[in-house]
């Protein structure tokens, strides 16, 4: 039967022929209307009180009234009921109550009765450690029956809707329990629950026979609200039937560890205020003082003094890591293998009942394990274990947390089908080693090789796949060089016989291998190698520099001394002049002697 048909049938079973609640979100909320003389009339708030509301909620098959306020579900609409109800609270129908003698002709705007009744007490968990744990039962026609899922779509997310309706925090675990004494059960549709409908609106009118019953465990006194999953949100604590936010000042890492454990999640990863909404009243007034080992937050000691205020943005926002319940198993690394999930302490292959969803599940796995992108997927038949299945409603989910919440936990064992996933980053990172015949480590702890000496760079990798090759890449400011050798025993050794300055730069090893009909590569970290001159070369160069400096100085001083010993040009001119004059005078004297 269609969910809408079931809802209509339920309404017929429970509805009254003389009263109704309209414009509300469920059968138990809305603006009150009363039928008289084949005419429906709204009721004025001034003519209606709490005892009247109790009668209405009981007549509609709902729980006790929780909200009674005008204008919640629309303004006053004509016609109006003209008399005041005077119920004692025990009557079975509103029109059985006494009414006032005088009539009311008008009703102020916004004063039509708006009523919200709590959901009827027709859902419970029995056989557990508290009212928030056990087998799910529903009550119809004064008879309690166990519940099973209609199409094997029951999961943690649907169980959480039950916990919320029971005011029991959030779902911690759920599954099926085999009944020792099979009995007729009611069917429940999880997709109806996930749409936000009340449990009673999602129960089938059919009675079926099964060996399994649904079991739910709720967190009872703590919950995380407004988060992206059951393991994240703003922390609220329940005490005296009231939920309160917790101030960041009154909460620390050890307190967070207790909360995450109580919710069935992994260790806390983020603890920060205002992540999931501002402080909302009421506030928890005491400081938690957990040791970190407690099984529940309310088992921890608390401070003696109360806190009356909490600064805006300081309500505890908590993100717990997901429990380690998803893996790729049986492959060459954590990035390839069969997708498996752990439920009720047992690892099984996981797949989806939705055709074509294998690519999405594979993409989630590769991203979750930081394994790059999906290279290939393959559906395999196996014989050792039946599979866990992902509910159809989770097809749109794209994270491991939502996969955990959407693992189908009801129904008979599923077929033996598994999903094999291969991600792009299946190879380990290659190791890089450097060896030089001289000291290969400089004072600043960098790898160093001496000019003209030989050195070896070795690349190796874990033995995941046979064969393959190593590519050694050298990058410097001048050029980029590549050297390739086949992998022998999962390693390769690159020998350089005489180092020169072109060998200085960044080195990295890249391993290439062909596996699973695809080519895979993995690169090592980068190492910088410097090429330096030896100490002997430095001494010789220093000596040559000293000799050149000494020779230059000697030549300079020799030139200076030589310049001082040579006559100046002016002196030479004067000597030449005087010598010429003396020669002329001597000639004249000789001429005079020889004259007459």
Higher pLDDT, 72 or 283: 283
Q: What's the confidence (pLDDT) of residue 181?
A: 66
Q: Is the pLDDT assigned to residue 588 strictly greater than 80?
A: no
List, for residues 144-202, the tens digit of each pLDDT value. 888 877 666 788 888 998 898 888 999 998 888 877 766 767 778 777 887 777 777 78
Spell out the alpha helix ranges (H) of 232-282.
253-262
Q: What's the confidence (pLDDT) of residue 595?
A: 38
Q: What's the confidence (pLDDT) of residue 11?
A: 42
Cα–Cα distance measured from residue 338 to residue 385, given in angstroms and rounded to the nearest whole number: 12
Residue 565 banded pLDDT, cuts 50, 70, 90: low
Residue 401 banded pLDDT, cuts 50, 70, 90: low
Residue 590 banded pLDDT, cuts 50, 70, 90: very low
Q: Could you tell me the pTM of the whole model? A: 0.64
Q: Of 337-341, 395-399, 554-558, where does mean pLDDT reach its minimum?
A: 395-399
List, for residues 1-14, the tens digit of each pLDDT value. 333 334 334 443 44
282 and 332 co-located in one domain: no
Question: Mean per-residue pLDDT for 74-82?
Answer: 72
Higher pLDDT, 140 or 523: 523
Q: Is the pLDDT assigned to residue 459 strictly greater than 60?
A: yes
- How many domains does one find in the chain? 6
Domain of 358 in residue numbering reads as 326-423
Q: What is the phi/psi pair of residue 52, to 5°?
A: -65, -40
Q: Which of 70, 98, 117 is the last residue of a domain?
A: 117
244 and 305 co-located in one domain: yes
281 and 201 co-located in one domain: no
Question: Mean per-residue pLDDT for 267-277?
Answer: 77
Residue 592 within a domain: no
Cα–Cα distance measured from residue 489 to residue 483, given in angstroms and rounded to the nearest whole number: 18
List, for residues 324-372, the tens digit of each pLDDT value. 788 999 999 999 999 888 877 788 888 765 556 778 888 888 988 899 9
Q: Is the pLDDT assigned to residue 519 strictly greater than 80?
A: yes
Q: What's the confidence (pLDDT) of residue 193?
A: 81
Q: What's the confidence (pLDDT) of residue 121?
A: 74
- Mean pLDDT, the chain, whole residue set: 80
Structure tokens at 328: 């790729």
Cα–Cα distance measured from residue 118 to residue 53, given in angstroms and rounded to the nearest whole number: 11
Residue 412 banded pLDDT, cuts 50, 70, 90: low
Q: What's the confidence (pLDDT) of residue 566?
A: 59
442 and 522 co-located in one domain: yes
Q: Is the pLDDT assigned to residue 596 strictly greater than 60?
A: no
444 and 358 co-located in one domain: no
Question: Mean per-residue pLDDT for 209-222?
Answer: 85
Residue 593 within a domain: no
Report CA dihedral (202, 206, 207, 208) to the nearest 10 degrees.
-90
Do 207 and 186 touch, CB atoms closer than 8 A?
Answer: yes
Q: Which of 170, 197, 218 is the last residue of a domain?
A: 218
Q: What's the confidence (pLDDT) of residue 2?
A: 39
Higher pLDDT, 76 or 18: 18
**H/E run at residue 574:** helix 569-594
Q: What's the confidence (pLDDT) of residue 72?
A: 67
Question: Mean per-residue pLDDT for 277-302?
Answer: 85
Do 427 and 372 touch, CB atoms closer than 8 A?
Answer: no
CATH number, domain containing residue 8: 3.10.250.10
214 and 226 co-located in one domain: no
Question: Mean per-residue pLDDT for 458-466?
Answer: 94
CATH number, domain containing residue 477: 2.60.40.10
- Nearest Cα to Cα of residue 269 among 226, 232, 317, 321: 321
Question: Mean per-residue pLDDT for 409-435?
Answer: 83
CA-to-CA dists, residue 250 to 302, 306, 308, 316, angstroms = 9, 10, 12, 9
313 and 273 co-located in one domain: yes
* Structure letter (DSSP) for residue 285: -
Residue 493 within a domain: yes
Residue 588 within a domain: no
187 and 139 co-located in one domain: yes
Q: Is the pLDDT assigned to residue 512 strictly greater than 70?
A: yes
Q: Is the pLDDT assigned to residue 295 strictly greater than 70?
A: yes
Cα–Cα distance measured from residue 79 to residue 92, given in angstroms and rounded to the nearest whole number: 25
What residues form DSSP beta bridges with 44? 112
Residue 416 banded pLDDT, cuts 50, 70, 90: confident
CB atoms inside a 10 Å sphere around CB 371:
21
Residue 158 within a domain: yes
Do 476 and 482 touch, CB atoms closer than 8 A?
Answer: no
Structure tokens at 481: 């060089």
Q: Which of 373, 401, 423 is the last residue of a domain?
A: 423
Higher pLDDT, 528 or 79: 528
First to last CA, the chain: 172
479 and 575 co-located in one domain: no
List, for residues 255-270, the tens digit of each pLDDT value. 999 999 999 888 998 8
245 and 281 co-located in one domain: yes
98 and 158 co-located in one domain: no
**H/E run at residue 55:** helix 50-59
Residue 103 within a domain: yes
Q: What's the confidence (pLDDT) of residue 376?
A: 92
Q: Of 444-458, 518-532, 533-547, 567-581, where does mean pLDDT reach its minimum?
A: 567-581
Most confident of the following: 358-372, 375-389, 508-522: 508-522
152 and 80 co-located in one domain: no
Residue 274 within a domain: yes
- Nearest Cα to Cα of residue 527 among 460, 453, 475: 475
Q: Is the pLDDT assigned to residue 217 strictly greater than 50?
A: yes
Question: Mean per-residue pLDDT for 504-520?
Answer: 94
């Amino acid at each position: 039967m269609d969910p809408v048909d079931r809802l209509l049938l339920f309404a017929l079973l429970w509805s009254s022929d003389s009263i109704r609640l309209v414009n509300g979100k469920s059968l138990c909320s809305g603006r009150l209307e009363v039928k008289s003389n084949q005419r429906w009339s709204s009721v004025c708030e001034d003519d209606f009180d709490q005892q009247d509301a109790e009668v209405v909620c009981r007549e509609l098959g709902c729980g006790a009234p929780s909200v009674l306020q005008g204008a919640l579900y629309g303004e006053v609409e004509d016609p109006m009921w003209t008399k005041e109800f005077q119920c004692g609270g025990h009557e079975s129908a509103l029109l059985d109550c006494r009414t006032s003698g005088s009539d009311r002709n008008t009703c102020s705007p916004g004063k039509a009765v708006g009523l919200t009744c709590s959901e009827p007490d027709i859902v419970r968990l029995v056989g557990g450690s508290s009212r928030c744990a056990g087998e799910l039962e529903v009550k119809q026609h004064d008879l309690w029956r166990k519940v099973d899922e209609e199409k094997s779509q029951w999961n943690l997310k649907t169980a959480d809707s039950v916990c919320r309706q029971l005011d029991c925090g959030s779902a911690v675990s759920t599954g099926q329990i085999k009944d020792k004494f099979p009995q007729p059960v009611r069917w429940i549709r999880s997709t109806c629950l996930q749409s936000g409908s009340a449990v009673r609106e999602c129960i089938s009118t059919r009675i079926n026979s099964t060996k399994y019953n649904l079991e739910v465990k709720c967190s009872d006194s703590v919950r995380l609200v407004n988060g992206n999953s059951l393991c994240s949100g703003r922390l609220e604590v329940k005490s005296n039937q009231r939920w309160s936010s917790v101030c960041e000042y009154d909460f620390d890492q050890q307190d967070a560890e207790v909360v995450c454990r109580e919710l069935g999640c992994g260790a806390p990863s983020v603890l920060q205020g205002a992540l999931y909404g501002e402080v909302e009243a009421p506030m928890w007034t005491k400081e938690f003082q957990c040791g970190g080992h407690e099984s529940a937050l309310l088992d921890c000691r608390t401070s003696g003094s109360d806190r009356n205020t909490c600064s805006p943005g300081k309500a505890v926002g908590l993100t717990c890591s997901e429990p380690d319940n998803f893996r790729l198993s049986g492959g060459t690394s954590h990035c390839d293998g069969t997708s498996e999930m752990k439920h009720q302490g047992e690892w099984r292959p996981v797949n989806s009942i939705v055709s074509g969803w294998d690519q999405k599940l594979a993409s989630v796995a590769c991203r979750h394990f930081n394994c790059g992108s999906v290279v290939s997927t393959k559906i395999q038949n196996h014989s050792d274990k039946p599979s866990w299945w992902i509910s159809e409603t989770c097809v749109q989910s794209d994270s491991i947390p939502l996969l955990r919440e959407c693992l189908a936990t009801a129904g008979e064992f599923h077929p033996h089908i598994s999903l094999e996933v291969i991600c792009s980053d299946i190879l380990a990172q290659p190791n890089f080693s450097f060896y030089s015949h001289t000291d290969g480590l400089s004072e600043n702890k960098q790898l160093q090789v001496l000019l003209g000496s030989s050195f070896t760079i070795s690349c190796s990798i874990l033995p995941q796949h046979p064969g393959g090759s190593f590519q050694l890449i050298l990058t410097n400011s001048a050029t980029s060089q590549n050297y390739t050798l086949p992998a022998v025993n999962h390693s390769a050794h690159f020998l350089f016989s005489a180092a020169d300055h072109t060998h200085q730069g960044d080195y990295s090893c890249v391993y290439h291998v062909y596996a699973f009909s695809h080519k895979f590569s993995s690169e090592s970290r980068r190492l910088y190698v410097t090429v330096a001159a030896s100490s002997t070369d430095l001494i010789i160069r220093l000596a040559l520099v000293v000799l050149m400096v000494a020779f230059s100085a000697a030549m300079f001083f020799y030139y200076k001394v030589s310049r001082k010993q040579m006559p100046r040009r002016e002196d030479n001119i004067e000597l030449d002049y005087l010598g010429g004059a003396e020669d002329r005078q001597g000639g004249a004297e000789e001429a005079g002697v020889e004259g007459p």
